[in-house]
Structure formats: structure tokens, C-alpha cells
A and B are shown apart, each in its own frame.
Chain A
């Protein structure tokens, strides 16, 4: 039996952790022990909050290291991390830490953030709610994607691979496995969601799906 796609939405509340770092050593120390929801906040949430910017800023860690500590080399390395490609927060945390460790082991003097510009660790509480939107075929799917909110698009595209540990977004998963639409599923999976604005991403997904509907008709 065909399983319809039920659209959900993720909404986030920000918590303060009370932890702050003034230099790279403190940043690393906190990174070892902060909850995974804090690493999620400063990478994925940060990107989602700024993803419409052109050019887009890198993740929060890279932004702070480059703009506040003015450690350009490390900032560039952290910015180059493809955060959406990691399938677990653990792996992402280790990748960030290993780059900071390499910089610290170079033995250079640590730069200290000016007062008031310390790195404050925050974490996200995620609320997942079902929406009334449901799709049973490609046409309905495109209609729904046109109507859903940012939280829903973010839930199914940005956060899916982390939750499911499958390295794939929910849309591609359902299109391939339930509808057998591997072509359009792969095309959506290949999109880098952070190089689009919200509306741009939505339009691109709808365009790909509608093109397939047109081709099949």
C-alpha cells in the first residue's frame, strides 16, 4: 500500500547554556562537553537563520573565529566544512574539534576576543509538529511544497539527514522508495540547500517535481 507523505514542521526555541569562550582553547574545551543540541544550533540553526544572505556567512564557529578572533586560516577551514554533509552531530563535532586542535598545536599565541564579543554557547530545543499537508502523488507533493512554511522545509531538507542518519533528505527518501521516482529524488538530493534562499529552494524543488509531472503526462 502506498504510504502518503505527511509534512511535519520543526520549530526551535533557543536556550542559553551559560558557557562562553574567550579564545580557541576555551572554545575547544566547551566543544568537548556541550550537548549535541548546541553543536546543532551553531551550525545548522545558524545557517538556517542566515541562509537567505548573499553571500551566505559560514557556520557560527567559523564566523566567530574569522571576524572576532581574526584567525583567518582556521576560520577558512571551519567555513569550508560542509556541515550539511555530516550524517551525525558527533562526526561534525569531531571535525570542528580536530581543526581547532591542529591550530592550537601549532603553538601560536592565542588571540583573545574583545570584551563583550565572547562566543556564547546556545542550544536549540526542537519541537516537531504535524501539519495538515499530505501528498499521495507528485502533483500533490508539488502543491504542498508550494504551501508549507520555512519550518517544514527546514525539517524535511536541512535536518532530515541528521535525524535519520541516512544522509538523505525526507523528500528524496519518499519519492524514491514510495513513488519509485529515483530521478527526481536524486536531483533533489543533489541540491545544496544552503546555496539557495528559502524561496529559491522551494521553487527549485517544485520545478524539478513539476518537470517530472510534465514529462510523465
Chain B
């Protein structure tokens, strides 16, 4: 029982990171039709920016994590917004070229981070409280798992409220459903593009910071591995659907943890791919219809 509880909470923690990456990817794809391959690089940039800035300011572990994390998120948003303005916008309505550009950017950014800080992972200093454990139903759960789950839940609520109750949210939801109609009604969809890209970048960077907390290290290869599972989450959840992403992220995180533990290590990753294949055979459009809600 205690193992099961531990696995469940750890799986939710992993799912939280998948959700943060997938929600950005899903919104960007839903609104603009761009598959952002550089999203993995943004995770890495966020994690390393947080780690580097925390190192620069020094001080206690809490201060380093919070201020460094904030810096990482801003860095992710800025890099993403610049990507959209400089690289994506000139290639408007050429989706394949847009994907290719983000592929080039993913390679270049990843290599740059590796060139500056080395190919080895770097320890990510954590406050003592996060390393401590809390006992739940006899299971000793590391406290950082609650941070990841809490942050993702807050993002889910905030994002849903943003999409449902603000004007920009309305434009984004309408754009996901029918971009041409929104433009025809005289609304500048391109401004929404930049905002969604920056938002996605910030969420990816946040996932990068949380991956530093979850694994205790920052690693140049982490972005790519998180990105691949986030892609799976996006396909299972349905493009452009935040709710679908959340459900799929939880399912993928849990299945991965359970299978890795109860079978052998690595089985979980295979099980997730099988789940993807099964969903595609039954419902090629993913769990949710293409609506941002």
C-alpha cells in the first residue's frame, strides 16, 4: 500500500511536468498550427537560467530557487517571444518551414547550452524542506512532489480562468476553433500568437525549473526526453485542449511509474507508447475535440 501511494504521488509529480510542457505545445499548435520542436530547448533554457541565476545571487536555498526560478521563467518567455517574432512570423502560412526552423533552433540552443555549461548534469540546490519526506498512509513521500503537483494544479486553474474569462482568452479560444474567421472579424490574431508563444515558453521553462527540483540536477538532455513524452500527451489529449492535456498527462505519468516499478525499468516508457497506439486506433483525434477549454 505504502509503495502504491508513493508511486501514485511520484507519477502525479511527473505528470505535472508533462502537463506544463504539453499545455503550451497544445495551445501553440491549436492556435497557430506550429509544432514547436524548440519547446524542449526552452525547458533546458529555463532550467539552466534558473540554476545559473540562483548561483549568481547566492543566499539561502529558498531564495535561490524562487528568484532563480522566476528568472528562468522570464528567460523562457523572452526566448519564446523572440522565436515567434524573428523566426516564425516571417514564415507565416508555411507550416513545414516553421517546423524546420524550430528543429534548427532546438539543435542550436541545445548545443549552445551544452557548450557553455558542459554535457554533464549539474546539481540543483534544494531547500531542506523539499528533500524531507512526509508520511502519507505509511509512505514516505519527498515533499518536492507536492510542489510540482501544486504548481501544475495552479497553472491548470489559472490557464482555464485566463482562457475563459479574459478577452485574450476569448480570442485564443476562437482562434483555435477558426483562425480565419477571427481575422475576418478584424481582430489581430498575430498579437495572440506572440502571447501564446511567450506563455508556452514560460510554462516550458517552469517545467524545466520543476524538473531541476524533481531530479535534483539540471541536465542538457532533459528537455528532449520531457518533450517526447509531452508530444505523446498532446496527441492523446487532443490538440488545443488544456483539459485533455491535463488528463492525458496524469494518465501517462501514472502508467509510467506503475509499469516501471511493478514490471521492470523502462517498461513504463514502452507502455505509454502502446497506450498512444491504442488510442490512435480507437480515437484518431485524441481524447478531447479540438476546443480550448
Chain A bound to chain B: no
Q: Contact residues of B with A, CB < 8 Å? A: none
Q: Contact residues of A with B, CB < 8 Å? A: none
